Chain A
Amino acid sequence: MRTYILRRLLQIVPTILMITLVVFLMMRSVPGDPVVALLGEAYTEESATQVRQEYGLDQPVLVQYFIWLGKLVQGDWGRSILSGRPVLKDVLVRLPVTLELIVLSMAVALAIAIPAAIVGALRQNTWADYTATTVALVGVSIPEFFIGVLLLLVFSFGLGGLLPSSGWVYLPGTCPTIVCSASLWGNMHHVLMPAFALGVGRAAILTRLLRASMLEVIRTEYVTTARAKGLAERPVVFKHALKNALIPTVTVMGLQVGFLIGGAIVVETLFAMPGLGTFGIDAIIGRDYQQVQGFALITAIAFVVMNLLVDLTYTFLDPRIRYA
């Protein structure tokens, strides 16, 4: 197991390097010059040349990449071209917000998907099943921003500000800035709508997948055996059927992290949350190369680590799986 984890961790390195290189090259090929945005009306050829030298933008693209990489291995993620702020510092300030959003939206997704899929599978072709599959289809079809706007209109606009429309309250003890609010209640208030907006689409996908998987598993011989030997329905469903049906779902959950990061950009912008999503989109729009690299790096790390964790979860779900 240890060897497996070590091997996987080593595999992560070239994956992340490849992602950052692709992002680096893509950003350089996008039209638009961050120096123009930085200097604004003060732009002259001379001042632009000077700024490009300061940030190494006058070097060939691959040289720039290796300079960035060289600094990275020393723990220097670079500085924002536009704001002068250290990228790592900004990433660390914003990471907890997005991490919490992603974890909770996945929790929302599972909280909806598991019961819906079980009901759908156990009562196949009944109104309960049709309802679950129809809701899942609707959930898949509605984009996050639309659900977000609807939630805003109902809970912030319509119900007299029942839930806050924007901003962020940190969990107690996690405040990364000098001035910030922290409370469990406030945090839950702020994260509820964004997590729901982001989680509903994922719930729909997971429901459909888990339902199909459950249908397959509940027809297997070991489930029939479990029922035949007189086991109550609850342990049959939850201990024998669900646990095995979850394996493909868990695989997809790992892959869904990527979609959640993408969705976080939309949801964080809509709810004005100071997370990595808004950080990433602002960086891309402003052509802030250093920040884009920081965003790509952290999301790549999050994605591959999450998939490693998913792989490790298999051993819990199916004891026959052993990693060597």
Chain B
Amino acid sequence: MRSRRLLLVLLTALFGLATVSSDVAQAQGPKRGGTLRVSYGNDIANLDFHTASGYEMMWVAMNVGCGLVNITPDGKFVGDAAESWSMSPDGLLYTFKLRKNVLFHDGTKMDAAAVKFSIDRLMNPETKSAMRPFYGPVQSVEVVDPHTVQVRLKHPYAFFLHMLAGYRTGLVIYHPGATQKHTLQDRQQGKPEALPGCGPFRLVEWVKGSHLVMDRFDKYFVPGRPHLDRVMIRTIKDPVTEMAAFKAGEIDFIASFSPEHVDTLKAQNPRAQIMTGKETTPMVFQMKVTVPKDGKPHSKDRAPHPIFHDIRVRKAVGCFGIDRKEIVKIAFKGQATPWVGMNPPGTLDTVDVNHLCPYDQAKAKALLAEAGYGPSKPLTFELMTSTEKSVFNVIATVIKEQMARIGVTANIRLVDKVTWMNHALEDGPFDAHVEDLLSLLTLDSNPFLSAAGARWNQSRHTDTKINDYYARYARELDPAKRKAVAKELVEYAADKLYWNTISGSPFYMVAQPWVKGYTYNAEFEVHWDPVWLDK
């Protein structure tokens, strides 16, 4: 009895000691050193930050490179290489004051000339950067002195700072000397000498399909940062393997975790930090409104799509015929928001227009009958989706079932990502598709997928009123007025079904309990310099 009591006292004391030492560790602040082992679900395409696609590359770019500004989860701008900035009263001139202690990884100074070089480079059609359309409002970039750079705009652009901070990679400043000395292929294959950034980590090695290693840049301009010695990224494509590796402590951080496995991971790792936020990526079911008259993709000469050019059919199939709540329940286990509006609930100036598309089978059938479809002339269409994520296939299957309820046959066509890109994005032959292509920091980042004439216009509508809304929205500097324009735009697009959202597409990051200091900001900002390991 006595020894049992003694054991109890000892255990309590040990527990108390462990708790105190953990608190002490927290109070002592970040520990320096260690390797953060990160897992990616997809491979990095290549490492030319100005031209490569995919978030996997972008998350490297944000840590190897530096830009002018960053954006916090609550939408505030914070300086990166710029210590301050100002906008002229007419909104046409931005002046950025650069920090004086910003160095590239080869030791040379990062100055205003490098900023001008980088923006000019992104705007040059020869660079073939996907960021180029976002720089459309930029008139010129001028170097005032080595630490001051001015960007002159053609017209006011309310989202200029958003764009610099978080559209795709945001602005990644390139080293002029290294960029001119090395070839595009050197950068694509990630030769460290071709990519000396000014970010907290310097690139050490990238072996495609194996690993990417970044080491701490000791002369990073933020004193004391980064805390980690090294970030090591590996690609683990199978979620089961990823979960096993996480449970066994082989990885510290999962950069993008599949939503359908979150519950399992939670159950297996009760202490894991599972990070998510309001959805910023729309899961879409897009219907093609026009097709090229001459059969040539991207032809400006358009003909009506034989099925979905009719707004009644679009409304029957994509609006009243779709039970968004059921899709969310089955495909996302309820962990997403059923949504109709173009920009999901986590995006700036989001507008809830769910009331425009209530699930109503009777209305859907009536509209189809009005359009001439019924038992004697059944409607059949092809629903394309890609194998990239298993959830696409699930959603397509649920839609197929929902279509059957209104007497419509949806034939699912499952293709790989490249084939999907060739068809859905390059104006290939398809009727409708399911995908979640892009996270939207703002509604303004979406015209390249939804404006008339845009190369990747998902529905291939030709209604320039959408473009006018976008232009008004982007140029309006008054936030209240801008919000009103956003409402008009989203309502109009939903009414015409030029854009058809099903729900938000949830995004998850997972970290071990010993990973400290990370600030979740969806896909837009992934920075490992504040991260430290408490172990």
Taking beta carbons and an 8 Å cutoff, which residues of A are in contact with B? Answer: 31-34, 36-47, 79-80, 82-86, 90, 93-94, 149, 152-153, 156-157, 160-161, 164-168, 177-180, 269-272, 274, 278-279, 282, 285-287
Contact = CB atoms under 8 A, between A and B. Distances in A.
B129 interface: yes
A93 B43 CA distance: 17
A46 B426 CA distance: 14
A42 B248 contact: no
B129 A37 contact: no
Contact of B422 (A36, A42, A165, A272): A36
B448 to A, nearest CB: 6
Contacts of B249: 161
Contacts of B189: 80, 83-86
B38 to A, nearest CB: 13
Contact of A166 (B129, B133, B186, B245): B245
Contacts of A34: 418
B250 A166 contact: yes
A178 B235 CA distance: 18
Given A84-B188, A93-B207, A152-B244, A272 B51 contact: no
A42 B51 contact: yes
Nearest to B37: A167
B45 A83 contact: yes
Nearest to A164: B250
Interface size class of B (residues with CB under 8 A): 35 or more
B88 interface: no
Contacts of A86: 189
Interface in B161-198: 184-189
A272 B236 contact: yes
25 contacts: A33-B422, A36-B418, A37-B53, A37-B418, A40-B52, A41-B455, A42-B129, A45-B298, A46-B125, A83-B189, A84-B187, A85-B189, A152-B241, A153-B244, A156-B247, A157-B243, A161-B248, A164-B250, A165-B250, A166-B245, A179-B232, A180-B211, A269-B238, A282-B209, A285-B416
A41 B448 contact: yes
A234 to B, nearest CB: 43
A46 to B, nearest CB: 8
Nearest to B212: A179
A161 B418 contact: no
A179 B215 CA distance: 11
Given A80-B189, A90-B209, 6 more contacts: A34-B418, A36-B421, A84-B185, A157-B248, A166-B242, A274-B207
Given A31-B419, A44-B455, A166 B241 contact: yes
A42 B242 CA distance: 32
Interface of B: 43, 45-46, 48, 51-53, 125, 128-130, 132-133, 184-189, 204-205, 207-211, 213, 232, 234-238, 240-245, 247-250, 268, 298, 415-419, 421-422, 425-426, 448, 455-456
Given A34-B418, A165-B248, A41 B210 contact: no
A162 B128 CA distance: 48
Nearest to A269: B237
A149 B240 contact: yes
Contacts of B241: 152, 165-166, 270-272
Pairs of residues from A and B, 8 with the lowest C-beta to C-beta distance, nearest first: A161-B248, A84-B188, A274-B210, A41-B130, A40-B53, A84-B185, A165-B244, A32-B418
Contacts, number: 156
B53 A41 contact: yes
Q: Looking at B186, B204, B208, B419, which has the most chain A CB atoms within 10 Å of its CB?
A: B208
B205 to A, nearest CB: 5
Contacts of A79: 185
B244 A272 contact: no
Contacts of B268: 157
Contacts of A32: 416, 418-419, 421-422
A156 B245 CA distance: 7
B250 A167 contact: yes
Contact of B132 (A42, A82, A179, A270): A42
Given A32-B418, A90-B208, A287-B418, A272 B240 contact: no
B422 A31 contact: yes
Nearest to A291: B208
Contact of A157 (B213, B247, B421, B456): B247
Contact of A41 (B48, B207, B419, B456): B456
A149 to B, nearest CB: 6
A47 B209 contact: no
A179 B205 contact: yes
B268 to A, nearest CB: 7
Given A37-B421, A47-B128, A270 B238 contact: yes
B209 A279 contact: yes
A274 B207 CA distance: 9
Given A43-B426, A157-B268, A165 B245 contact: yes
A86 B191 CA distance: 12
A166 B234 contact: yes
Nearest to A168: B210
Given A93-B210, A156-B248, A278-B209, A285 B418 contact: yes
